């Protein structure tokens, strides 16, 4: 939006962007990157109301501010849709529970992508990874296992984010410990801002 010349204000209840995922130190780097691009950062507050006649014209915040606007982009995270799996007798928690073969608690039923709470053998625990690359790679393994290939899904979780000229790589389950940030990455880097989604 900044690349299109729009005035942008970010309202974030956390102290820095992506604090839950990256921690305060790296999140502060992103705060400074956005501020340097002219983004107004309102941290430590939250939206309490959208106001307007037929469309959003104003945003009210918990600290008493009123922000005039033409439109709002809301990024509040997601919850996995597990109702269908649960109705089918599949075990669910914070997602559909699958083993290292991406098979659910019901033999012959598989799940992949954001909804799959996958057991990673090298960590001996389950968790969900909300990233398109995970859905792509898990889908292929699940398909092969539907054909009785017995292939373990053991790919290390990987994320990245391009924001202006900065690219952040995150590898593993604890990105605060395994991440790198580079500036001036490539001339064809996307110019749109990806809104934080602290999952």
Q: What is the pLDDT of residues 12-38, one digit of tens each?
A: 999 999 888 788 988 899 999 999 999
Q: Which long-range contacts (CB under 8 A, 24 or more apart) does 14-20 make?
A: 14/43, 14/44, 14/198, 15/43, 15/44, 16/43, 17/41, 17/196, 18/196, 18/198, 19/198, 20/198, 20/199
Q: What is the mean pLDDT of residues 157-165?
A: 81
**Mean pLDDT for all residues in the chain:** 84
Predicted confidence (pLDDT) at residue 175 exceeds the cutoff of 60 = no
Domains assigned to the chain: 9-74+157-183 (3.50.50.60), 83-146 (3.50.50.60)
> Residue 110 gets which letter from DSSP?
B
Contact, 90 vs 106, CB < 8 A?
A: yes
Q: For residue 123, give Cα distances in angstroms to 6, 126, 134, 152.
A: 44, 8, 17, 13
Question: With 90 as the cut, is the pLDDT of residue 74 above it?
Answer: yes
pLDDT band at 70; cut points 50, 70, 90 = very high
Q: Are 150 and 183 in contact (CB under 8 A)?
A: no
| 80 closest CA partner among 120, 130, 150 | 130
Tell me whether residue 31 is exposed, middle or buried, using C-beta atoms within 10 angstroms of its C-beta: 0 to 12, 13 to 18, 19 or more.
buried
pLDDT digits (tens, 9 = 90+) for 102-145: 999 999 999 999 999 998 877 777 888 888 888 899 999 999 99
Whether residue 82 is predicted with pLDDT greater than 60 in this model: the reply is yes
Residue 183 DSSP SS3: strand
DSSP string, 118-174: EEETTTTEEE---SHHHHHHHHHHHHHHHTT------PPPEEEEEETTEEEEEESS-
């Amino acid at each position: 939006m900044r690349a299109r010349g729009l005035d942008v204000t970010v309202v974030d209840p956390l102290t820095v962007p992506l604090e839950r995922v990256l921690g305060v130190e790296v999140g502060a780097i992103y705060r400074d990157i956005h501020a340097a691009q002219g983004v107004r950062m309102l941290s430590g507050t939250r939206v309490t109301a959208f106001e307007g006649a037929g469309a959003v014209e104003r945003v009210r915040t918990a600290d008493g501010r009123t922000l005039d606007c033409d439109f709002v982009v809301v990024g509040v995270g997601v919850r996995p849709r597990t109702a269908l799996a649960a109705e089918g007798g599949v075990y669910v928690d914070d997602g559909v529970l699958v083993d290292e073969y991406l098979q659910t608690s019901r033999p012959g039923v598989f799940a992949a992508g954001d909804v799959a709470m996958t057991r990673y053998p090298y960590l001996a625990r389950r968790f969900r990874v909300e990233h398109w690359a995970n859905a792509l790679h898990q889908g292929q393994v699940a398909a092969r296992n539907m054909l009785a290939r017995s292939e373990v899904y053991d790919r290390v979780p990987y994320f990245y984010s391009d924001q202006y000229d900065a690219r952040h790589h995150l590898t593993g389950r604890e990105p605060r410990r395994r991440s790198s940030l580079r500036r001036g990455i490539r001339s064809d880097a996307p110019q749109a801002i990806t809104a934080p989604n602290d999952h």
